[in-house]
Chain A
């Protein structure tokens, strides 16, 4: 079975500062990895995904993540955050199968201070 651990429940950052949201996963088989963002009272929106190939993945809104197989990590980064990035961020994992369910981490609340 797969599992996802988001090490930080909350991350406060000043505007225009860099940020890293940490995610570690465990799985005995190859997986796909995702980062989703959730704004208040809304569904989830895909930020980026890792399927295969280059370990550095670029997504929307200036976010990027790096897949590290040896450390089983998929940390999300942004070099300079904005107030509008305030949201809940979820890391997720699924197996190589269209019928496989996606398992979500517990989420990290990113709060941006002016």
Chain B
């Protein structure tokens, strides 16, 4: 099956710093990528839809200026958590859909801990 690589798998940072998370589709081109946030023992909450070459579409309640998404190529999308605070600590998961595909392929997730 298709592979989505997400890095880093975990990161610890100080409050006020920015953290970048990368999501790459390794063996297919992904016009659309999705970023999810997951709290412990809860479902995935869609944060934004990332489209190659255009601005991301954010879900209601998600701060665009805090969660910067860039989809510069058909195989790479990045999520930058700017000026991170402890409440941003969470598990972030990216996913990608191949062109003309139905299912999503998921990265392994990034556990962010903000001290």
Contact = CB atoms under 8 A, between A and B. Distances in A.
Interface of A: 32, 34, 36, 41-46, 49, 51, 90, 94, 98-99, 101-107, 109
A45 B43 contact: no
B103 A106 contact: no
Interface stretch (B11-19, B76-84, B92-100): B92-100
B42 interface: yes
Interface residues of B, number: 28
A102 B44 CA distance: 10
A14 to B, nearest CB: 22
Nearest to B104: A102
Closest 4 CB pairs of A and B: A43-B106, A44-B106, A43-B108, A106-B43
B101 A101 contact: no
B99 A98 contact: yes
23 contacts: A32-B102, A41-B91, A43-B95, A43-B106, A43-B107, A43-B108, A44-B93, A44-B104, A45-B106, A46-B1, A46-B105, A90-B43, A94-B102, A98-B31, A98-B99, A98-B102, A101-B49, A102-B34, A102-B104, A103-B46, A104-B43, A106-B42, A107-B43
A102 B102 CA distance: 9
A2 B85 CA distance: 33
B44 A90 contact: yes
A34 B101 CA distance: 13
